[in-house]
Chain A
């Protein structure tokens, strides 16, 4: 819960100010914390902080029409700040769900993409966890995203070029050829 106590008030403050840069930085910090402390709460917080940063980056989601939905998200965040120290895990998860429902309501006003913000956020976070070094299985379980979806996403990025492999391609092919000759 330490991560939650530390970051939720800051996320609320940045969201109120519609400060995308700050929200992205907070999301980066939550991601780092989640790698070290891989609880479901931290995973969920990482997704929410990412989605909130995306919301404030889209002018169409900040228009006058969207204000009631944005206020509802803020209200849910305030509720989370107030209750987080006394709430148990289940209660926290319910409050996260409330925030997510409000995000969906925001999108209902202006649906543009087949994949919603929340699903996109989950996928992006799952791929990031995988890129950081968690296994595919853990990234999938914690975010609820299919392994193949994560693989498809990861495959189109540079993540496999970022890590210098121990074995060269020549060595790998040597091993592969041995399979047929052995």
Chain B
């Protein structure tokens, strides 16, 4: 079976491990040959720093992520990302303008994910961070959101928007919630027998409370279709 690659951000790994749902990664890796790819900066943020600095709050997640890396389920891919990251960040942060000033939207870590996906030719990005995801999927939605939040007109630099769209290419985004739902559909929670539906719902709320950008409405919508 062909390897299927997915770029993953630190937030996803931390929320999966702290919710004890990281076995999902093994499930998809073993059964569907998925490979979860991270740049070294994500490993540093989610594993190296918490372990080195002994940050108790994040040690459990850090150890479990390290385990997944050691098992080859999560793969750290080193690439030269700096220059491209800098350029893309410059473009992304010069798309929306308020009172003639650019809105700074995305950060180095988030931009790196997009560059890594582009360099490796990976189509799927698994991320729970909302702003970058919306910027990929529907940037104009962000404009409307800002206008509603700040009660101002937001101008769009179309040239930079087109440049960004061209630079990142046809990326497809997934949230942890979709991964959990997909796991359910593929029988991951079967061992819970009569509690299968309840455990799915509990898992969705757990990752929601860990910051996955899914709304309560969406969880209800999905659960209403589950028999």
* Contact indicator A167/B137 (Cβ below 8 Å): yes
Against B, the Cβ 8 Å flags (1 = close, 0 = not) of A27-50 are 000001001111000000000000
* Contact indicator A175/B131 (Cβ below 8 Å): no
Which residues in A have their C-beta under 8 angstroms from that of B152?
Answer: 36
Q: Which of A10-18, A90-98, A102-110, A151-159 contacts B (4 or more CB under 8 A)?
A: A151-159
Complex: A136 Cα to B113 Cα, angstroms: 14
Complex: A133 Cα to B105 Cα, angstroms: 7
Chain B interface residue count, Cβ-Cβ cutoff 8 angstroms: 63
Which residues in A have their C-beta under 8 angstroms from that of B174?
Answer: 172, 175-176, 179
* Contact indicator B172/A175 (Cβ below 8 Å): yes
Out of A132, A158, A175, A182, name the residue touching B4 (CB < 8 Å).
A182
* Contact indicator A154/B129 (Cβ below 8 Å): no
Which residues in B have their C-beta under 8 angstroms from that of A172?
Answer: 174-175, 178
- The verdict on B71 contacting chain A, using a C-beta distance below 8 Å, is no
- The verdict on A169 contacting chain B, using a C-beta distance below 8 Å, is yes
- The verdict on B212 contacting chain A, using a C-beta distance below 8 Å, is yes
Q: Determine the residue in chain A with the shortest Cβ distance to B173.
A: A175
Which residues in B have their C-beta under 8 angstroms from that of A166?
Answer: 134, 137-138, 141
B 87-136 contacts with A by CB, 8 A: 98-99, 101, 103-110, 124, 128-132, 134
* Contact indicator B104/A147 (Cβ below 8 Å): no
CB distance from B106 to the nearest CB of A (A): 5
* Contact indicator A35/B103 (Cβ below 8 Å): yes
Indicate whether A35 sits within 8 Å of B109 (C-beta atoms), given known contacts A160-B214, A173-B182, A179-B174: no
Complex: A163 Cα to B146 Cα, angstroms: 11
* Contact indicator A156/B209 (Cβ below 8 Å): yes
Indicate whether A151 sits within 8 Å of B128 (C-beta atoms), given known contacts A35-B103, A138-B107, A176-B174: yes
- The verdict on A135 contacting chain B, using a C-beta distance below 8 Å, is yes
* Contact indicator A133/B142 (Cβ below 8 Å): yes
Indicate whether A148 sits within 8 Å of B11 (C-beta atoms), given known contacts A133-B142, A136-B131, A137-B107: yes
* Contact indicator B14/A173 (Cβ below 8 Å): no
* Contact indicator A133/B145 (Cβ below 8 Å): yes
CB distance from B169 to the nearest CB of A (A): 15
Q: Determine the residue in chain A with the shortest Cβ distance to B186.
A: A180
Out of B145, B181, B208, name the residue touching A173 (CB < 8 Å).
B181
Q: Determine the residue in chain B with the shortest Cβ distance to A149.
A: B57
Q: Determine the residue in chain B with the shortest Cβ distance to A35.
A: B150
Complex: A136 Cα to B210 Cα, angstroms: 14
* Contact indicator B32/A180 (Cβ below 8 Å): yes
* Contact indicator A137/B149 (Cβ below 8 Å): no
Complex: A180 Cα to B109 Cα, angstroms: 27
- The verdict on A64 contacting chain B, using a C-beta distance below 8 Å, is no
* Contact indicator A130/B15 (Cβ below 8 Å): no
- The verdict on B74 contacting chain A, using a C-beta distance below 8 Å, is no
Interface residues of chain B, those whose CB is within 8 Å of chain A, are 4, 6, 10-11, 14-15, 18, 28, 32, 34, 45, 58, 98-99, 101, 103-110, 124, 128-132, 134, 137-138, 141-142, 145-146, 149-152, 172-175, 178-179, 181-182, 185-186, 208-218, 221-222
Chain A to chain B: the 8 pairs with minimum beta-carbon distance, closest first: A151-B211, A137-B107, A166-B138, A161-B215, A176-B178, A135-B131, A155-B211, A155-B209
Interface residues of chain A, those whose CB is within 8 Å of chain B, are 32, 35-38, 130, 132-138, 140-141, 146-148, 150-152, 154-156, 158, 160-161, 163-167, 169, 172-173, 175-180, 182
* A–B Cβ pairs within 8 angstroms, 27 of them: A35-B98, A36-B150, A37-B101, A130-B130, A133-B142, A133-B149, A135-B129, A136-B110, A137-B110, A137-B129, A138-B105, A148-B14, A148-B211, A155-B208, A160-B208, A160-B214, A161-B217, A163-B141, A165-B134, A166-B137, A169-B221, A173-B181, A179-B34, A179-B174, A180-B4, A180-B28, A180-B34
